[in-house]
Amino acid sequence: MPAEHAENSNLQTLLSQIGAGLDQFLNFDHPDALHPSASWREVLDTPLPQHGVGIEEVTQELITQIIPNGSPVPKPGFTSFITTGSTTVATLASTAASIASPQRYMHTAFNFLEELSLQWLAEMCGLGNMRGIYSSGGSVANLVALGGARQSAFEKIGHDPAADGVNRPVSVYASQECHHTIQRSGGVLGIGRRAIKIIDCDNKGRMRVDLLQNAILEDKAAGILPMAIVANAGTTNTGAIDPLQRIGEIAKEHSIWFHIDGAYGLPGILDSQVSHLYRGLELADSVIIDPHKWLGASVGVAATFVRDRQLLYRSFTQEPADYLEGSVEQEDNSRSVIEHSLDDFGIPYYDFGVELSSPCRGVVVWALLKEIGVEGMRKRVRRHNDMARYISKFANEHPNLEVLSEPTLSICCFRYVTSNSVDLDRFNQTLHRRLVRENQYMPSTTRINGDLALRPCFIGARTNQAQVTGLLNSVLRIGRELEDTVNTTLK
């Protein structure tokens, strides 16, 4: 087909072909899914095309060269980082949105679902009447929340930082386990990365409230404005949950914005075994969650929730633009019925965050919750948490395994131990690289109190108990093989 006529192609047929290729890619038992081609780079590394080849040939290259050599992230055995492949329904919803509503604005069903899904998400996670806005990920979600915190702190002293800039030093208090996007937010918001005051944690990775209280009192005495406290509802490193209730009470005592980073761990509230750890959530001024983590959304879906969304408006609103202001009739209050999507911009999310152009993310979250409901999500979260607990129990009972950090949520940090006189950090690092090269069970590593640990994090919708058993068996097998090598060397 001539390239200039490509858009006349049958979308349904081509999407079906792509879907078949993706199904094969996700087939854990298919040999090509475990060992991708080594020649893909040579096939793809071609000069800039001067004449197109047509959509059918592009589709075939996607199926034969690009999809099979994609990322291991969506594989059921991938437990390295807190990211995963989207579920089928999320893929369908994001595909539909990319064609039927490429922007989240205008009076469309997609704009409506943007707000409805935020309401559903807040209800499921115990956020009450908080209002939200979607963004691309935890980095932007934290930035938006702290933008609201900056606005709130300075308005209390009669200053508008969004309009006039920051006019005095401030402090944001966060634990040593906070995500590094918090420091970056400080730089972007003009308060400076050094304004993030790091508070030490206890031996379980939770912020020490006594040190937090001391830091606030010291800053107040020095004339530094306390801007926000950032607590973790599930740290990236170990899944630890800060003492939210006590931190929230301290924030209220000092009239400081209380922000909770629940990008990964907020859905843990659905597990009754740990739900009590989320007490104090109701004290938060802002909370974030990334549906593209534990909920199975397509990557690029995060949400910021705040008590007062008008603070976000005052912090991020745009200046008027001639090409936009007269494009719709939303100021005509005499219209009782909106007859066309261009009669109204819909909810103005462009004034609540940092993005103007933005995809429709709400339809993805709507689809996820519509498909399996709160109970389905609860079962998924509980299943993943139980996987981490299983590893902990197994490792605590096995002579060659040692738990370095007991799981709170779906992360368990453990390592292989041996009676040989070896560097256990180097031993486990070698073991880990062997695991990754086998391309079936792929945890990450981290350090717990200075010791290197294997760190599986279970969040993938396709991950089940077979991956837990397979991971443990592989760790023990590779560990024994490495021990044999050490013993041979010693002889």
The 3 state secondary structure assigned to 228-268 is: EEEEEECCCCCCCECCHHHHHHHHHHHCCEEEEECCCCHHH
Rounded to whole angstroms, how far apart are CA atoms 90 and 461?
11
Per-residue pLDDT tens digits for 285-343: 999 999 999 999 989 999 999 999 999 999 998 876 655 665 666 555 555 555 666 66
Rounded to whole angstroms, how far apart are CA atoms 288 and 144?
9
Q: Are both 289 and 357 inside the same structural domain?
A: yes
Q: Are both 180 and 273 inside the same structural domain?
A: yes
Query: What are φ and ψ of residue 231, in 5° steps?
Result: -110, 155
> How high is the pLDDT of residue 462?
92
CATH number of residue 314's parent domain: 3.40.640.10
Q: Are both 341 and 384 inside the same structural domain?
A: no
Q: Are both 298 and 159 inside the same structural domain?
A: yes
**Which one of 369, 385, 418 terminates a domain?**
369
Q: Name residue, tokens 């592009």.
A: 58
Indicate the helix (H) or strand (E) that contains 451: strand 451-455
Q: Are both 232 and 249 inside the same structural domain?
A: yes
Per DSSP, 318 falls in state P
Q: For residue 39, is it within any domain?
A: yes
Rounded to whole angstroms, how far apart are CA atoms 264 and 262?
5
Residues of the chain with pLDDT under 70: 1-9, 28-38, 106, 320-345, 488-491
Q: For residue 127, is it within any domain?
A: yes
475, two tokens = 């760790």
Q: For residue 20, is it within any domain?
A: yes
Residues in the chain: 491
> How high is the pLDDT of residue 36?
60
β-pair type (401-405, 286-289) = unpaired
CB crowding 26-53: b at 16 or more within 10 Å, else e? beeeeeebeebeeeeeeeeeeeeeeeee
Q: How many Cβ atoms sit within 10 Å of the Cβ of residue 133?
A: 29
Chain mean position to CA 284: 19
Rounded to whole angstroms, how far apart are CA atoms 350 and 38?
44
> How high is the pLDDT of residue 3?
46
> How high is the pLDDT of residue 4?
52
Q: Are both 53 and 136 inside the same structural domain?
A: no
Domains contained in the chain, number: 3
**Which one of 346, 369, 392 terminates a domain?**
369
> How high is the pLDDT of residue 85?
87
> How high is the pLDDT of residue 341?
64
> How high is the pLDDT of residue 31?
46
The number of helix segments (H) and strand segments (E) in the chain equals 16, 12
CATH number of residue 417's parent domain: 3.90.1150.10
Cα-Cα-Cα-Cα torsion 302, 134, 354, 351, nearest 10 degrees, comes to -160
Q: For residue 76, is it within any domain?
A: no
Q: Are both 47 and 106 inside the same structural domain?
A: no
Q: Are both 36 and 114 inside the same structural domain?
A: no
Per DSSP, 223 falls in state T
Q: Are both 46 and 112 inside the same structural domain?
A: no
**Which one of 369, 390, 409 terminates a domain?**
369
Q: For residue 475, is it within any domain?
A: yes
Per DSSP, 185 falls in state H
Rounded to whole angstroms, how far apart are CA atoms 417 and 320?
63
Q: For residue 2, is it within any domain?
A: no
Residue 399 is part of which domain span?
374-490
Q: Are both 322 and 263 inside the same structural domain?
A: yes
> How high is the pLDDT of residue 356?
77
Do residues 315 and 151 make contact, with C-beta atoms less than 8 angstroms apart?
Answer: yes
**Bridge partner residues of 229 (DSSP):** 173, 258
Q: For residue 97, is it within any domain?
A: yes
CA distances to 15, 307, 423, 489 from 485, rounded to whole Å, are 50, 59, 14, 6
Q: Are both 215 and 150 inside the same structural domain?
A: yes
Do residues 114 and 104 make contact, with C-beta atoms less than 8 angstroms apart?
Answer: yes
Q: For residue 18, is it within any domain?
A: yes
Q: Are both 188 and 286 inside the same structural domain?
A: yes
**Bridge partner residues of 306 (DSSP):** 131, 286
Per-residue pLDDT tens digits for 18-48: 888 888 888 765 545 555 666 888 889 999 9
**End-to-end alpha carbon distance in the chain:** 68
